[in-house]
Amino acid sequence: MKRAKSKIRFLQSILFLILGIILGVGAIWPGLITQTGRKCFLKIIKDGSDGNVSLGTIFSINPNYLLKIHNEKNKYNKILLIGDFCFREL
């Protein structure tokens, strides 16, 4: 009986953790659920994955975000800035 209760508690904890992550990301990036935001994000990531970014992609990004992305050294933070542009601005 004690073992079954501990498994239920564990599953509840995991459920609340996943729900919290989903709601947290949804609150930070509300455009995540829109198709245009996801297309924008994937287009920029795919275009820049080989190291060369097309001129059309560069012109589609706000100059303030371009400067922030260019000056950032950490790749994870660059992806976060791209997400901010696509999921908040559009």
Query: What mean pLDDT comes out for the span 61-83?
Result: 82
pLDDT at position 35, please?
Answer: 85
Q: pLDDT of 14-32, one tens digit each?
A: 999 999 998 988 888 787 7
Domain residues of the chain, as ranges?
Answer: 1-30, 34-90
pLDDT at position 14, please?
Answer: 95
pLDDT at position 11, please?
Answer: 93
Structure tokens at 24: 């947290």
Question: What predicted TM-score, i.e. pTM, was given to this entire model?
Answer: 0.58
Residue 1 has pLDDT above 70, yes or no: no
Higher-confidence position of 12 and 61: 12
